Amino acid sequence: MELLIGKRYSLVKQKASLMDGFLYSARDISLQRDVFLFLTEKPGESATEIYFHTIGEAARINDERFIHILDAGVDKDYIFISLHACEGYPLLHDLTHPGRTSRDILALLFELGRGLQEAAENDMDYFSVTAENIWCHNGTYKFINYWTEGAKNRKGVKGLCILLYQLSSRSAEIPLDLHNYEQQLRETMSDLPMPHREKLMAIVRRAMNGEESLPSFLFGLHDLIVGSEQEPRTYIPSRSTNERLQMKADKDAPHSMKAAVEEPIENREEEDSDKKSTSPTRKIFIAGVSVVCVVLIIGVFLQKTKGDLADPSPSPPPVTTPGPDSTEPPAITDNDNPDGSSDNGGQTKEKDKTGDGNQEGQQDQEDPPTDAGDEPDEDGAGIDPEQAIVPVPNLIGLSREEAEQTALDNGLRYEYHIENNDEQPQGNVFKQEPAAAEEVPKGTNITFWVSR
């Protein structure tokens, strides 16, 4: 006789043994669909009510990094929770995967950390985040049980550090001593560049000592991931190493990139020969352009110098004399003042009346006006966006985590100190430098003090 759970679910196969229950693949008889079914022993009546309340809160999380809750109920001595069925297997069964690099592990950790941050917004960040509670399939990773509180060192930022060790060492066993943990982690992450590895160890050390918040932890991981992506691009290989690097590029580059990389050797040789044959011409062309640029720069410099050494009184504009049959008065052309205004008051008009128009026109030809495009932009439009000025946010009275997130949201870096203080409750900011509302460049490091 077929065993039904809750008069609705037919068990098919056990998928995983979790900390406080078992995960099965099952069949929903009512809706004719495949599901996952989590079974755990029923606690006391009061505990059962609290348990179902927690499940209801967890069901509100709508994020792709969580297996969605479909239904829950009680059957005799068991509580069952119906989950969306997924292809794949527990991450615990995939720890020995040989293809993960250190950067892959950091990216995986960052994605799960973002899911943990999503849960924290719903006050549901107390579940286990280690390999035993994660489902994986084709590079996607999901939390299985996110309604049961996990062990102290397997949840939050510490849990992510444990997961980091499990993935890098390919083992579920964790060293009990922090020194051994750091030493072994340093060895297993050896494919990271030395500066990145040391930065990672500093982040992990703070996290394991309870001194790193989740936003700060994720910020550090993001810097490491971006840094490891940019690291190879700064290296320009020599011609003698092209063939060795070509083999690696064929393995790591996307398929769309391979077509461009895998060009025939004959074509490359022809291109090299063309470059060699045209190199003298190119050198002559570049030299000519350089000479022209130097001449132009010297000319502009001499022109500006000549203008500075000339009579400080401005030259009057040239007078255009009308023809004998014209009834219009002479027109004054002022190249330096398009709006017709004169910087020297009525002096220009007085000189025009002397009739010395030819001499003034000649002076204007000798001293052409300086191109306004050469002048610096006075409204600051050329300022580097990274050096934009932002006001310092007010962190006084915020918790340490809120202060950290506020600083990051405003594009600022931060550091904090923990000291005794009677003005603010424990864990709140009581002092900051620079002061609130002070304008500083984006990326400035601000310091705040947290009450112990």
CATH topology of domain 4-84: Phosphorylase Kinase; domain 1 (3.30.200)
How do residues 104-154 score in pLDDT, each as one tens digit? 999 999 999 999 999 998 888 889 999 999 999 888 999 999 999 988 889
Cα three-residue angle 380-382-386, rounded to 5 degrees: 100
Give me 276's structure tokens. Answer: 């060699």
pLDDT score for 33 = 94
Pick the CATH number of 387-451 from 3.30.10.20, 1.10.10.10, 2.160.10.10, 3.40.50.1010: 3.30.10.20
pLDDT score for 452 = 87
Return the residue matching tokens 């849990």.
159
How do residues 245-269 score in pLDDT, each as one tens digit? 565 555 554 444 444 444 444 444 4
Cite the beta strand spans of 264-412 per DSSP E: 319-320, 331-332, 389-391
Could you tell me the CA-to-CA distances from 213 to 59, 160, 296 in Å, in that order? 25, 12, 57
pLDDT score for 166 = 93
For residue 108, give the 3-state DSSP assignment.
helix
Give me 159's structure tokens. Answer: 């849990």
pLDDT score for 290 = 84
- Which positions of the chain have pLDDT values less than 70? 1-2, 228-282, 306-387
> Residue 439: which H helix or E strand, with range?
strand 439-441
Residue 8 DSSP one-character state? T
Per domain, the residue ranges of the chain are 4-84, 89-232, 387-451
Give me 140's structure tokens. Answer: 């996607």
Written out in words, the top-level CATH class of the domain with range 89-232 is mainly alpha
Q: Are 36 and 84 within 8 A, CB to CB?
A: yes
